[in-house]
Amino acid sequence: MIMPMKMLESVLNKKVALLLKDNRTLEGSLIGYDEYMNLVLDDVEEKAQEVNRKLGVVIVRGSNVVRMVPI
Amino acid sequence: MIMPMKMLESVLNKKVALLLKDNRTLEGSLIGYDEYMNLVLDDVEEKAQEVNRKLGVVIVRGSNVVRMVPI
Amino acid sequence: MIMPMKMLESVLNKKVALLLKDNRTLEGSLIGYDEYMNLVLDDVEEKAQEVNRKLGVVIVRGSNVVRMVPI
Amino acid sequence: MIMPMKMLESVLNKKVALLLKDNRTLEGSLIGYDEYMNLVLDDVEEKAQEVNRKLGVVIVRGSNVVRMVPI
Amino acid sequence: MIMPMKMLESVLNKKVALLLKDNRTLEGSLIGYDEYMNLVLDDVEEKAQEVNRKLGVVIVRGSNVVRMVPI
Amino acid sequence: MIMPMKMLESVLNKKVALLLKDNRTLEGSLIGYDEYMNLVLDDVEEKAQEVNRKLGVVIVRGSNVVRMVPI
Amino acid sequence: MIMPMKMLESVLNKKVALLLKDNRTLEGSLIGYDEYMNLVLDDVEEKAQEVNRKLGVVIVRGSNVVRMVPI
């Protein structure tokens, strides 16, 4: 059994692919999170509607998160 | 009477089919969950808009979950 | 006066028709529930967009529930 | 001043017309409720997209309720 | 400074125009409310999609409220 | 550092432009608020779908608020 | 590990790009925030549906926030 918050801890400082509710994807290093799944990512590359952008550090509000995949 | 959280416990390390609100389906082993139905799946194969992808480990935010079926 | 949670208790192990927010219907035996209306159904037959599927046991997240009818 | 929960109490065992967020209407006797406006209705006739159906007892999750009219 | 709940109190037994999230408007006397902005109106005339209906007493779930105007 | 609630306090009795989730805008004096961002405005002029209306006092449920600009 | 709220603190008085759920973007200095991610920005330039507007100070309700990028 791996609690979701424990899983987030184990992914810290690793690269993840994040899918948001508006179908936006962010790839970057997970450098922070809290109990609401608010997240801080670094070195982010975002893909939204077929456009890619480099964003650096990004704070994501947890309510937008669909799923996260360590990559 | 089987409480939903107890049911999740009994499905641990078994294969499940998960339906999300955006009509995405994930099939994989349930390896973790919490009281909000945040989930951790392993060996995930995802199907979204007729495209299949192998994703490995996936953390799902509970607010996206519609239903889960042990398979 | 029948409190909704008490009503759920009285329907335990009986057949119900469940309507979800995405217009999906599930028919099966109610075998579990909790205070958020998270539900466990057994012997489920699901109908979504005119397609019927037998699903066996299903865990439904309460936030998707519209209404339940004992049948 | 009539608190909404007190108003529900005064409508117990009387006929009501209930409008849900998906534009579904249910007419029936209010036989139960709780603080979240989860409701139990009896002798329900439902009208959704111009189709009428007799449903008997119905448990409605409060988050779907728009308005209730004693009739 | 007039706290919103205090403002509701001062409008008690006065006529209000209520706008709901589905663009429905209700005009009637505010006869009750609670902290979630669940409301009880009396002598209600409702206008939805250009159709006017007299409804009498109406209980509105607060989560549907957009704005209220004393009239 | 200006806490959002402190900022609301400093805007009391001043004119603000309020944007709601349904793209409605309200301009008026902020005369009250609470911790949920429920608001009371006075001397309101509303603009919705290119129609302007004078509304006087308006109570807005906080869950509809997108952003507020002191003007 | 950088908690999201700690990250917001470190961005105080710096320029950020904020994306909201209705696809609106706001660029300005972050001058305040709270635990719900309600935000206060200053010197804001907003871009919505290809129209740019200078707004000065803006209070944003946290529930609308998708992501914030320090720029």
Four-residue CA torsion sign, B53, B54, B58, B62: positive
Q: What is the pLDDT of residues E4-39, one digit of tens each?
A: 999 999 999 999 999 999 999 999 999 999 999 999
Give the residue from chain A lying closest to B44, CA to CA.
Answer: A69
Contact between residue F29 and residue F41 where contact means Cβ atoms under 8 Å apart = yes
CA distance C17 to C11: 11
CA distance D51 to D45: 10
For the residues D48-56, what does the mean pLDDT come to? 94
**Tokens read off for A57:** 């550090």
A67 and B64 in contact by Cβ < 8 A? yes
CA distance F15 to F42: 9
Residue matched to tokens 């429905």: E24
Of C3, C62, C69, the CB nearest to D34: C3
Give the residue from chain F lying closest to G64, CA to CA.
Answer: F66
Contact between residue D69 and residue D16 where contact means Cβ atoms under 8 Å apart = yes
Of C7, C23, C66, the CB nearest to D40: C7
Give the pLDDT of residue D38: 98
CA distance B15 to B27: 7
What percent of chain C is predicted at pLDDT more than 70? 100
Q: For residue G3, give every residue at least 6 positions away whose Cβ sits within 8 Å of its Cβ, in sequence order, or none.
A: A32, A33, A34, A40
**Tokens read off for F27:** 């301009």
B4 and C39 in contact by Cβ < 8 A? yes
Q: Give D57's contacts in chain C (Cβ within 8 Å).
A: 7, 69-70
D32 and C2 in contact by Cβ < 8 A? yes
Assess whether chains D and E touch, using the rule of 3 or more C-beta pairs within 8 angstroms.
yes
Confidence of residue A50 (pLDDT cuts 50, 70, 90): confident
* G68 phi and psi angles, rounded to 5 deg: -125, 135
Distance, in angstroms, between G7 CA and closest chain A CA? 8
C40 and B2 in contact by Cβ < 8 A? yes
Give the residue from chain B lying closest to C24, CA to CA.
Answer: B66
Give the residue from chain C lying closest to D33, CA to CA.
Answer: C3
For the residues A44-61, what does the mean pLDDT come to? 96
- Residues of chain C where predicted confidence (pLDDT) is lower than 70: none
G56 and F69 in contact by Cβ < 8 A? yes
Of A53, A60, A56, A58, the residue nearest A20 (C-alpha)? A60
Helix (H, G, I), strand (E, B) or coil at E64: helix
Average pLDDT of the residues of chain D: 97
**Tokens read off for B65:** 């979950």
Helix (H, G, I), strand (E, B) or coil at C9: helix
Give the pLDDT of residue A17: 98
Of E41, B66, E24, G17, the residue nearest F22 (C-alpha)? E24
Give the pLDDT of residue F47: 95
Contact between residue C67 and residue D19 where contact means Cβ atoms under 8 Å apart = no
β E51-60/E39-48 pair status: antiparallel
Contact between residue B61 and residue B37 where contact means Cβ atoms under 8 Å apart = no
β D65-70/E51-60 pair status: antiparallel
D57 and C65 in contact by Cβ < 8 A? no
Q: What is the pLDDT of residues A4-46, one digit of tens each?
A: 999 999 999 999 999 999 999 999 999 999 999 999 999 999 9
Distance, in angstroms, between B36 CA and closest chain C CA? 9
State the distance between the two ends of chain C, measured CA to CA, in whole angstroms: 21
Q: For residue B32, give every residue at least 6 positions away whose Cβ sits within 8 Å of its Cβ, in sequence order, or none.
A: A1, A2, A3, A4, A6, A7, B12, B39, B40
How many other CB atoms are there within 10 angstroms of residue D50's CB atom?
A: 5
F13: pLDDT strictly greater than 90: yes
E38 and D4 in contact by Cβ < 8 A? yes
Q: What is the pLDDT of residues F39-65, one digit of tens each?
A: 999 999 999 988 999 999 999 999 999
Confidence of residue E50 (pLDDT cuts 50, 70, 90): confident
Q: Give G18's contacts in chain F (Cβ within 8 Å).
A: none
Q: Mutate which of A19, A20, A35, A37 to test chain B, going by most B C-beta atoms within 10 A?
A: A19
Confidence of residue D59 (pLDDT cuts 50, 70, 90): very high
Question: Which domains does chain C show, CATH number per domain?
Answer: 4-70 (2.30.30.100)
Distance, in angstroms, between E48 CA and closest chain F CA? 16
Assess whether chains E and F touch, using the rule of 3 or more C-beta pairs within 8 angstroms.
yes
Which subunits have 3 or more CB–CB pairs within 8 Å of chain A?
A: B, G
CA distance B34 to A37: 13
Give the residue from chain A lying closest to B32, CA to CA.
Answer: A2
Give the pLDDT of residue G68: 98
Contact between residue A34 and residue A9 where contact means Cβ atoms under 8 Å apart = no
Q: What is the pLDDT of residues B15-32, one digit of tens each?
A: 999 999 999 999 999 999
F22 and E66 in contact by Cβ < 8 A? yes
Average pLDDT of the residues of chain F: 97
Which range (A5-9, A25-29, D50-54, G37-41) has the least confidence?
D50-54
Distance, in angstroms, between F53 CA and closest chain G CA? 23
Confidence of residue B50 (pLDDT cuts 50, 70, 90): confident
DSSP string, chain F: ---HHHHHHHHTTSEEEEEETTS-EEEEEEEEE-TT--EEEEEEEEEETTEEEEEEEEEE-GGGEEEEEE-
D50: pLDDT strictly greater than 90: no
D12 and C21 in contact by Cβ < 8 A? no
Q: For residue G61, give every residue at least 6 positions away whose Cβ sits within 8 Å of its Cβ, in sequence order, or none.
A: F37, F62, F65, F66, F67, G38
Confidence of residue G35 (pLDDT cuts 50, 70, 90): very high
Element (H, E) at C45: strand C39-48
Give the pLDDT of residue G53: 96
* C26 phi and psi angles, rounded to 5 deg: -125, 130
Q: For residue B20, give every residue at least 6 positions away whose Cβ sits within 8 Å of its Cβ, in sequence order, or none.
A: A66, A67, B26, B60, B64, B65, B66
Of G33, G37, G62, the residue nearest F6 (C-alpha)? G33
Give the residue from chain D lying closest to E31, CA to CA.
Answer: D1
**ipTM for this prediction:** 0.95
